[in-house]
Amino acid sequence: MEKIIDENKQGNTLVLDPNKSNSRKLYIESYGCQMNFSDSEIVASILAKEGFNTTQELEDADLVLVNTCSIRDKAEQTVRKRLEKYNAVKRINPKMKVGVLGCMAERLKDKFLEEEIVDMVVGPDAYKDLPNLLEEIDEGRDAMNVILSKDETYGDISPVRLNTNGVSAYVSITRGCDNMCTFCVVPFTRGRERSREPESILNEIENLWNRGYKEITLLGQNVDSYLWYGGGLKKDFEKASEMQKATAVTFSDLLDLAALRFPKMRIRFSTSNPQDMTLDVIRTMAKHKNICKHVHLPVQSGSNRILKAMNRLHTREEYFELIDNIREILPECSISQDMIIGFPTETEEDHKDTLDLMEYVKYDFGYMFTYSERPGTLAERKLEDDVPEEVKKERLTEIINLQQKSSAFRTKAHLNKIEEVLIEGSSKKSDAHWMGRNTQNTVVVFPKENYKIGEFVNVKINDCTTATLIGEAVGYSDNN
């Protein structure tokens, strides 16, 4: 649930420039969080070397892949419906093969093959095995690899950048998660936490910079847990040699390295975990202009009792202390949240604790969902989903209304200021306006004039809605 799911991107098909020597066609759709979309770029890179060009025409595809998410039941049901569509097309085009990738593949494993709705099932750590799996299905056999790895980070694969604006890109720095939050399937679908070698991350950023990208987002299930000490799982760090411990690279170190090496590249990161975020990270953010002043800091609940039931290793008091320290060190930092409403046993008092916490923090924006029981999680096995749906919906409405009030409060604070904006593309509501984001990750729209995508522009903020800043450009920033 901590992974950000952009509803506008769900089901996007990925397309890249064709290679004339490739003769087969790949149709790939992605669902879920940023990590899944990043993984699809890795898959496309691997399959391009296997003779596949991408297509947006499902009927023309030789291979159809869907990269799946298990974080919410809604995501799984959407994928089920898409698989029905694929199989309807497959009856017309029998040579077409269908495969499921990602978290849902890991969770359901051979059930997909037993139901005869797919030819191939590939877990998130097995994408390098795709060439072998393709051979199997080409010869008429079902294929599956859902083995979770202790060391796979795909650090040696340069992802193909798909459906990109050519301005911003994701760079994965960790895989897996060691936090056993009771509501979450991630530890079971993506395995134990391991970090990617720092130089491979910096090389990928350099490649993006050389190709004209202006902003990167460092991605991980929990970026604050990034720890490189020569390879291996984070949990095994205590067994590392004294030299390995002395030369280990933390997330704060990685941010510092990236910011220094690429001083004009905007750097964002997601997602953070309150129990693992150190003030070193905040101080590094304050030290470098090119590290964006925004932290996504999921809290999930404002009730200590519910946090304990979720196995969140922080209390509301510790969260408040972290918020206070962030505000002191980096006053201009925006903070966003994830919130689960109606977790098992949640009372009205627990709900009021959440509202109270939100009033205190006044988040810039947030991602709020009612609790959805996920098969295989500790909560599903040990806790009854006992909060009625109508109560969940009522509480969610209260949470959303309060968040909108806080968002309006935060956006109004930008009025009459001049802020640097990176132009990402046209506004969804007006072709005459550009859309970009400021350092706090707030969307800004302004008249296009003669400015271009990928340019840094200083914008005077004249008006706002609860989620968007409206202004006019007053010139280029010194970051171009």
Q: pLDDT tens digits, the chain, 480 residues: what are they?
A: 334 445 555 555 555 566 777 889 999 998 877 777 888 888 888 898 899 988 888 998 999 999 887 766 777 788 888 888 998 998 888 889 999 998 887 777 777 877 767 899 888 888 888 988 898 898 888 888 877 665 556 655 555 554 467 899 889 898 888 888 999 887 777 778 889 999 999 999 999 999 899 999 998 888 999 999 998 888 889 898 999 999 999 999 999 999 999 999 999 998 899 999 999 999 999 999 999 999 999 999 999 999 999 999 999 999 999 999 999 999 999 999 999 999 999 999 999 999 999 999 999 999 999 998 887 889 999 999 999 999 999 999 999 999 999 999 999 999 999 999 999 999 989 999 999 999 999 999 999 999 999 999 999 999 999 999 999 999 999 998
Which pLDDT score is estimated for 42?
85
Tokens 């500790």 — which residue?
Answer: 378
Element (H, E) at 327: helix 316-329
Which pLDDT score is estimated for 75?
72
184 annotated among ligand-binding-site residues: yes
Instruction: Report the candidate in 194, 187, 143 with the shortest Cα–Cα distance to residue 173.
Output: 194
Local structure of 420: helix, strand or coil: strand
Token pair belonging to 347: 């009372």
- Residue positions counted in the chain: 480
181 annotated among ligand-binding-site residues: yes
Which pLDDT score is estimated for 158?
54
Which pLDDT score is estimated for 161?
54
Which pLDDT score is estimated for 301?
98
Token pair belonging to 288: 């470098």
Local structure of 299: helix, strand or coil: coil
Q: Is residue 216 a contact partner of residue 254, using CB atoms and an 8 Å limit?
A: no
What are 177-194's pLDDT values in tens digits? 888 899 988 777 777 888
**Rounded-to-integer distance, Cα 344 and Cα 341, Å:** 9
Q: Is residue 464 a contact partner of residue 415, using CB atoms and an 8 Å limit?
A: yes
Partners of residue 338 on adjacent β-strands = 367
177 annotated among ligand-binding-site residues: yes
333 annotated among ligand-binding-site residues: no
Instruction: Report the candidate in 413, 424, 399, 427 with the shortest Cα–Cα distance to residue 466.
Output: 413
In one letter, which amino acid is 147?
I
Predicted TM-score (pTM) above 0.95 = no
Element (H, E) at 396: helix 389-412
Instruction: Report the candidate in 11, 87, 19 with the shortest Cα–Cα distance to residue 54.
Output: 19
Local structure of 110: helix, strand or coil: coil
Q: Is residue 289 a contact partner of residue 244, using CB atoms and an 8 Å limit?
A: no
**Rounded-to-integer distance, Cα 292 and Cα 309, Å:** 33
Which pLDDT score is estimated for 164?
64
Q: What is the DSSP string of 340-371?
A: EES-TT--HHHHHHHHHHHHHH--SEEEEEE-
Q: Is residue 228 a contact partner of residue 249, using CB atoms and an 8 Å limit?
A: yes
Q: Is residue 341 a contact partner of residue 399, using CB atoms and an 8 Å limit?
A: yes
Instruction: Report the candidate in 469, 407, 475, 480 with the shortest Cα–Cα distance to residue 435.
Output: 469
Q: What is the CB-side half-sphere exposure of residue 292 using CA atoms within 13 A?
A: 26
